[in-house]
């Protein structure tokens, strides 16, 4: 058995690594925002895109973000790696981020909604939203809304939403969106990842309908794979399992490949409303293809955030 494992190890690792983004597209003169890019796949995505163009790292922890940005600047030689404060658990912070960005930048070509929380003990955001729903869905929903006009004027532009295979286990519980009646932190994560898929689907539909003559204004979602990162830090058991089975997990660089692919691949210039994994189209759950639920979630999200997005 040990000999077999030794021989098979490279093949196992190659399988675990999954697809790679092969695009060499340059992004000179283009601007990319990546939320939660101070660690994990967000940081790996920022490192790759910094070799192509200007990257704005939007994070809650400025100290960690500055450390990551400094490292990326040194590795890539690109000084256009900029840190901006963004706390997705606070709509005031999201609005302040968008206001400052729009005052300082004229264009935005790629928005990667990457940041997320997972397996949190029950808690609420500054606005009273259940943490998974608030950060993973509503925070990015509001951020996209506030930056949409800039993206539209900068087209061709892309919106990339990092979801998860976990969306298959989710459902949108409109009668208990904030988990006040019943809460399971694993399921709460699944629900929020399903919300990412439904948001992407409805956003793409609306963009196509409203800007159908505008080439290359797209929105897609993705599953990065099971990645060795600190996303599972809220669960002692998952942290322990992640360490034991790290050989069978993607590295952050490997996990970032589909995010990078969705952001730069030339063949996706007119592809929108899709869901990818390992740099290729992937299967979406039946709930993730429910247009009625997507439309209702859109309406409820606007109501919760106090915005009108027609």
Give 1's pLDDT tier (boundaries 50, 70, 90): very low
7 or 105: which leads in pLDDT:
105
Query: Which position has the token pair 């994990």?
Result: 40
Q: Quick one: three-class SS letters along 3-68?
A: HHHHHHHHHHHHHHHCCCCCCCCCEEEEEEEEECCCCHHHHHHHHHHCCCEEEEEEECCHHHHHHH
Reported for 91-94, long-range contacts at CB under 8 A and 24+ positions apart, including other chains, are: 91/126, 91/127, 91/139, 91/142, 91/305, 92/126, 93/60, 94/139, 94/142, 94/143, 94/146
**pLDDT over 90 at 264, yes or no:** yes
Q: For residue range 5-16, what is the model confidence (pLDDT) as tens digits?
A: 456 666 565 767
Q: 168-217 pLDDT, tens per residue?
A: 999 999 999 999 999 999 999 999 999 999 999 999 999 987 655 456 79
Residues forming beta bridges with residue 272, ordered by sequence position: none
| pLDDT tens for each residue of 42-88 | 999 999 999 999 999 999 999 999 999 999 999 999 999 999 999 99
- The answer to whether 183 is a known catalytic residue is no
Comparing 53-62, 101-110, 235-244, which segment has the lowest mean pLDDT?
235-244
**Residues 123-149, mean pLDDT to the nearest whole number:** 98
**Range with the lowest mean pLDDT among 17-26, 92-101, 274-283?**
17-26
Which is the catalytic residue, given 122, 189, 261, 283? 189
Greatest CA span in the chain, whole angstroms? Answer: 62
Fill in the DSSP letter of residue 98: H
| Proportion of the chain above pLDDT 70, given as a percent | 87
Q: Is the pTM of this model over 0.85?
A: yes
Give the residue-averaged pLDDT of 227-250. 63
Residue with token string 């910094």: 50
- CATH number of the 1-305 domain: 3.40.50.720
Mean pLDDT of the chain: 91
pLDDT level of residue 247 (50, 70, 90 thresholds): low
């Amino acid at each position: 058995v040990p000999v077999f494992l030794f021989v098979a190890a490279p093949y196992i690792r190659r399988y675990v690594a999954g697809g790679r983004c092969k695009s060499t597209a340059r992004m000179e003169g283009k601007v990319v925002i990546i939320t939660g890019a101070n660690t994990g796949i967000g940081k790996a995505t920022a490192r790759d895109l910094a070799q192509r163009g200007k990257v704005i790292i939007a994070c809650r922890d400025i100290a960690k973000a500055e450390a990551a940005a400094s490292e990326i600047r040194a590795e890539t030689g690109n000084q256009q790696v900029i840190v901006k404060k963004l706390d997705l658990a606070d709509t005031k912070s999201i609005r302040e981020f968008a206001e400052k960005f729009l005052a300082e930048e004229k264009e935005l070509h790629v928005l990667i909604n990457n940041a997320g929380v997972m397996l949190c003990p029950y808690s609420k955001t500054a606005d009273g939203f259940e943490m998974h729903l608030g950060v993973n869905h509503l925070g990015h929903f509001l951020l996209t809304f506030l930056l949409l006009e800039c993206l539209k004027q900068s087209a061709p532009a892309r919106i990339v939403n990092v979801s998860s295979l976990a969306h298959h286990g989710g459902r949108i519980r409109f009668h208990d969106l904030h988990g006040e009646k019943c809460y399971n932190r694993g399921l709460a994560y699944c629900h929020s990842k399903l919300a990412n898929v439904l948001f992407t689907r409805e956003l793409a539909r609306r963009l196509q309908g409203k800007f159908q003559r505008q080439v290359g204004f797209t929105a897609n979602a993705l599953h990065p794979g099971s990645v060795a990162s600190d996303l599972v830090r809220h669960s002692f058991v998952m942290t322990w399992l992640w360490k034991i089975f790290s050989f069978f997990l993607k590295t952050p660089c490997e996990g970032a490949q589909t995010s990078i692919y969705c952001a730069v691949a030339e063949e996706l210039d007119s592809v929108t409303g899709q869901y990818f994994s390992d740099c290729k189209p992937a299967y979406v759950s039946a709930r993730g293809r429910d247009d009625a639920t997507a439309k209702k979630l859109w309406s409820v999200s606007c109501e919760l955030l106090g915005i009108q997005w027609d």
